Chain A
C-alpha cells in the first residue's frame, strides 16, 4: 500500500527534506510559470515562490518547521518530470526545476479541497473577526473560487465557541485544522496548552480534557491567535 510511484521521482535525495534553516547560501535557478527565479538551494518550493511574489494556496505550512505537516493539501504544483502533482511545502528546490502552479488538474484539486474545507466551516464572513485578513478569502480571490458550498453536502458542526479567554475566542467550527496554533503554542510560547486531539472527523484543536482555555494551563499569551490563518482563533473586538 505504500506509494512507491508517488510524488517524487527518486529516493536518491530522500534524506534531504530541505530545511530552510542553515542553507549553505548556494543559489539555484528554478522556473515557475515560465519565469526564472534565483533561490537558495534546498529552500522548499512554497516559500521560494511566496518570497518571489508567486502565490500558492496554503494553510498548514510553517516555514521554520523542518518536517512539514503537509495536511491542508492546497499547495499542489506540477513539476516537470514528476508523475503526479506535488505539495510545494514539502518539495526542496533544485537547480533547473520547472514548476507550474496552475494546470487543469491542479485547479480542480484545489477547487475541491477548498470546497471540502468550506463544507465543514461555519461560513459567516460578514460577522467574522478575520474578515479581510482570512487566508480562505485570499485563496478564493487568488484562484477565482466562490466562498460557498455548491456541490458538496454541508456538514453540520455544532461545537460551541469558547470565549473564556480574556482577549480572544476560539470557534472550533471555523478551524481548518492547519495545526499552526499548536505549533506556536509548543514551539514559540512553549506552553503546551493546546494540541490536536482525537482522530478523523473528530480531530480538533483542544486543551487537555477538552476544557475551555481558561480552565487549562493556557497563559493567554495570544501567540496562537496571531498564527491562525482564519477566524477560528480571533481577538475579541
Chain B
C-alpha cells in the first residue's frame, strides 16, 4: 500500500470504529442548519440536552445539517439500539421531552410524532415508502442531515476522502479525462461542461493557478448551496482539492456570501480538521501535492456570482464584471489561470472519482447526466431541498415530490432559475427537466430555485419583482443593463398600477431582446427572461392590466380595494377594527363593519384577521373608487 493509502487507512479505521460505537448507544440528531434554527431548532437542542441530563440516559446529542424537509422543521432523528433510527418533524419542546422520557427512557418510540424511519424495518415506513422518496435520488444531499458537519470522522466513515486518495494516485490529466467522460455540467447556472473547463485550465501554462468555489448563491429564492455548506462541508472540500490537483493549482478559495455566517463557521471548522488530518496543506497524505484553501467572504452583491466580478471582488475592487475573453480559466485571479466552479458541481466530484464516470452517466439524461438539486418554494406543500435525477418531469417534481399545491388552489405557473430564469405555464408540466429542455422552454436551470405559483399570483407582478431585483443588483457599468432594465421596470410598474399603455408591450419585448443581446455580463443577458417568458405565456394577464385596469389575481395594490361583505360579516366581532393600523375600518349604525377607502392603506390586516368562519373581508379588482354607500360621506 502507498503512503497515502496507509495514512488514509488509519484515519478510516478510527472513523469506522467511532461510527460503530455510535450504534451501541442511543443518540439524538437535531437539524441545526439555518432553516432549522429559524424554526427553533436550538431550543429543541437545549431541551434534549436538559432532558437527557435530567433522566440520566446515556445519549449523545449531535447537531447535524439539513434533511431537506423544510416544511417539517425543526426535525430530529432519534436512535436507540433495538429500534430503527426514526425521524420526527415539527418537533416542539413538548415532543422533545416526550421523546426522551417515553422513547429513550421508556420503550415507546412515539410513532404518532414520527415522519419516517431511516432504514427498512417492521414497524414504520421509511422515506423511500413515500412518493417523494420514490422519485428522489440523492447524491450530493445524501449525507446531509445524517452526519455532524463539524466532525470529519462522520464524513470519513462514509468513505469520505477516499476519492482524494484515489485521485492523488492518478495523473492529473487522467482525472480531467474522468470528469470530462462523466459529462458533468456546471451546476452554477449555465451547465457548461465541467471537464472542458478543467481541461482548458489544466492545459494553460502558468507558474501559479487557482481554483475557486463559487458559493455566492445570490438567487433570492435558493438555498441549496448554503444547505450543502452547512450540512456536509467536507464533501465540497474534497471536491475542491481534487479540482486543484487536476488543474495544477496550489491555492483554493471558497467565495461565500456574507449572509451565511453559519456556513462560514462550519466551513472554517471543517478546513481546520482537514488540515489537522493532513488532508489539506503541505504534502497532502504524503503524496507530494500541496494545496490549501482560504475562505473569502463576499459583501453582498448578486453580480459577484459572475466569474469576472467575483475575481474583481477578491482582488479588493468593486464587483464589476469585465469583458470575456480572456476567460478566467486562461487569465483570472491575479491574471493567472483560474478555475471557478459551483458548490454543487464540486460536491459531485468525489462521487464521480469514487464510482467512476460510467456510474454517473447512468443517472439522468444522456446530455445532462446526474441529478438536479432544487429548492422548492412558493405554493407547494413540500417546500425544501430535493434531489431528483435529471429527466424528471415538472409534474412529478411538483405533485409527487413536492406533494402538490398548498390549500388545494389551482396551479398557475412554475418559476425556475430565479432572476435569470423564466415562468412556465401548466402546458409545460410534462416537460422533463434538464439543462437544454429548460433553456428551450424559455426558463433555465439557473441556480435551482423553483417557485410554484398558484391562481392568487399575478404574473406581471412576479415579472416586476424579478426585474426589480436584477435592476437593483445591476453593477451599473453597461448601458443596456443599467438603463434598459430600469426602463423595463418603469413600464412594468406602470402596468401594475393600471397606467400601462397598449404600445408598452412591444417596447417591453424590444428592450428585452436588446438587453439580452447587448449586455456585457450574464446578469444583464438573463435579466429579461422573467419578462419574456411571462409575456410569452401570460400575455393576456398583461393585457387585462392595461386595458381593463384589473389585476386578475388581485395582487397589484393599486388595482384592488378591500371590502367587507355585508352578508358574511358577523357584526358582533370587532377583530378587523382592532387590526387596522390606520383606523379605516369602522362600525356603521347598523353594526355592519365597513372600510373607509380613503384611509385604507391596503395592509391586508383585516383580511387575515377576519376569522375563516366569516371570511367577510375580500379584495376586488378593478378597484372601487368612490366611497360606497354608508361610508364616511353619508354620515
**Residues of chain A whose beta carbon lies under 8 Å from any beta carbon of chain B:** 1-4, 6, 8, 11, 13-17, 67-74, 76, 84-85, 87, 90, 105, 108-109, 112-113, 116-117, 119-120, 151-153, 155, 177, 196, 198-203
Answer whether A13 and B476 are a contact pair too, CB < 8 Å, given A4-B190, A155-B486.
no
| Interface segment, one of B246-254, B373-381, B385-393, B511-519 | B511-519
- Residue B475 interfacial (CB < 8 Å): yes
| Interface segment, one of B78-86, B142-150, B326-334 | B326-334
Number of interface residues of B (CB under 8 A): 53
Nearest A residue to B487 by beta-carbon distance?
A152
Question: Per-residue CB proximity of B452-483 to A under 8 Å, as 1/0?
Answer: 00000000000000000001111111111011
Answer whether A200 and B490 are a contact pair too, CB < 8 Å, given A116-B480, A117-B479.
no
Assembled-state Cα–Cα distance A11/B203 (Å):
13
A71 CB to closest chain B CB (Å) equals 4
Contact B322 A67 (CB under 8 A): yes
Nearest A residue to B511 by beta-carbon distance?
A112
Taking CB atoms, residues of chain B closer than 8 Å to A3 are 190, 324, 521-522, 525
Taking CB atoms, residues of chain B closer than 8 Å to A16 are 326
Q: Which of A2, A15, A68 contacts B190 (CB 8 A)?
A: A2
Given pairs A85-B517, A109-B517, A113-B518, 13 additional interface contacts (CB within 8 A): A1-B190, A3-B324, A3-B525, A14-B324, A15-B331, A70-B322, A108-B510, A112-B510, A113-B479, A113-B480, A152-B507, A177-B482, A201-B474
Nearest A residue to B305 by beta-carbon distance?
A1
Assembled-state Cα–Cα distance A107/B189 (Å):
31
Contact B473 A116 (CB under 8 A): no
Taking CB atoms, residues of chain A closer than 8 Å to B503 are 151
Answer whether A73 and B476 are a contact pair too, CB < 8 Å, given A1-B446, A11-B327, A14-B326.
no
Answer whether A8 and B325 are a contact pair too, CB < 8 Å, given A15-B330, A116-B484.
yes
B255 CB to closest chain A CB (Å) equals 15
- Residue B188 interfacial (CB < 8 Å): yes
Within 8 A of A (CB), among B483-500: 483-484, 486-487, 490-491
Answer whether A1 and B518 are a contact pair too, CB < 8 Å, given A11-B200, A199-B301, A201-B471.
no
Nearest A residue to B491 by beta-carbon distance?
A153
Assembled-state Cα–Cα distance A235/B472 (Å):
34
Contact A1 B526 (CB under 8 A): yes
Contact A200 B322 (CB under 8 A): no
Assembled-state Cα–Cα distance A38/B166 (Å):
55
Contact A153 B490 (CB under 8 A): yes
**Residues of chain B whose beta carbon lies under 8 Å from any beta carbon of chain A:** 186, 188-190, 192, 200, 301, 305-307, 318, 322-327, 330-331, 420, 444, 446, 471-480, 482-484, 486-487, 490-491, 503, 507, 510-511, 514, 517-523, 525-526
Q: Which of B188, B471, B483 contacts A120 (CB 8 A)?
A: B483
Nearest A residue to B470 by beta-carbon distance?
A200
B586 CB to closest chain A CB (Å) equals 39
Taking CB atoms, residues of chain A closer than 8 Å to B514 are 108-109, 112-113
Answer whether A69 and B477 are a contact pair too, CB < 8 Å, given A4-B190, A203-B482.
yes
Contact B487 A116 (CB under 8 A): yes
Q: Which of A76, A119, A151, A198 contacts B483 (CB 8 A)?
A: A119
Nearest A residue to B189 by beta-carbon distance?
A1
Contact A116 B192 (CB under 8 A): no
Taking CB atoms, residues of chain B closer than 8 Å to A4 are 190, 192
Contact B480 A2 (CB under 8 A): no
Q: Which of A71, A74, A201 has the most CB of B within 10 A?
A: A71
Assembled-state Cα–Cα distance A113/B479 (Å):
6
A-B interface, 5 closest residue pairs, ranked by CB to CB distance from nearest = A14-B325, A203-B476, A1-B189, A116-B483, A1-B522
A108 CB to closest chain B CB (Å) equals 7
Contact B519 A73 (CB under 8 A): yes
Assembled-state Cα–Cα distance A93/B318 (Å):
30
Answer whether A71 and B330 are a contact pair too, CB < 8 Å, given A153-B490, A200-B472.
no
Q: Which of A15, A70, A84 contacts B326 (CB 8 A)?
A: A15
B209 CB to closest chain A CB (Å) equals 14
Complex A-B: 29 CB contacts under 8 Å: A1-B190, A1-B306, A1-B522, A2-B190, A2-B306, A3-B190, A3-B324, A8-B325, A11-B200, A11-B327, A14-B327, A15-B325, A72-B478, A85-B518, A112-B514, A119-B487, A120-B486, A152-B507, A153-B490, A155-B483, A177-B476, A196-B318, A199-B474, A199-B475, A200-B472, A200-B474, A201-B471, A201-B482, A203-B477
Contact B327 A71 (CB under 8 A): no
Assembled-state Cα–Cα distance A16/B325 (Å):
8
A175 CB to closest chain B CB (Å) equals 12
Taking CB atoms, residues of chain B closer than 8 Å to A152 are 487, 507
Contact B486 A201 (CB under 8 A): yes
Assembled-state Cα–Cα distance A151/B514 (Å):
15
Taking CB atoms, residues of chain A closer than 8 Å to B484 are 112, 116
Assembled-state Cα–Cα distance A84/B525 (Å):
12
Answer whether A200 and B476 are a contact pair too, CB < 8 Å, given A3-B525, A108-B514.
yes
Assembled-state Cα–Cα distance A200/B318 (Å):
12
Contact B507 A17 (CB under 8 A): no
Taking CB atoms, residues of chain A closer than 8 Å to B474 are 199-201
Nearest B residue to A116 by beta-carbon distance?
B483
Taking CB atoms, residues of chain A closer than 8 Å to B192 are 2, 4
Taking CB atoms, residues of chain A closer than 8 Å to B520 are 70-71, 73
B497 CB to closest chain A CB (Å) equals 13
A119 CB to closest chain B CB (Å) equals 7
Assembled-state Cα–Cα distance A119/B523 (Å):
22
A151 CB to closest chain B CB (Å) equals 6
Nearest B residue to A197 by beta-carbon distance?
B318
Assembled-state Cα–Cα distance A113/B511 (Å):
9
Taking CB atoms, residues of chain B closer than 8 Å to A68 are 323
Answer whether A199 and B479 are a contact pair too, CB < 8 Å, given A1-B306, A112-B510.
no
Taking CB atoms, residues of chain A closer than 8 Å to B325 are 8, 11, 13-15, 17
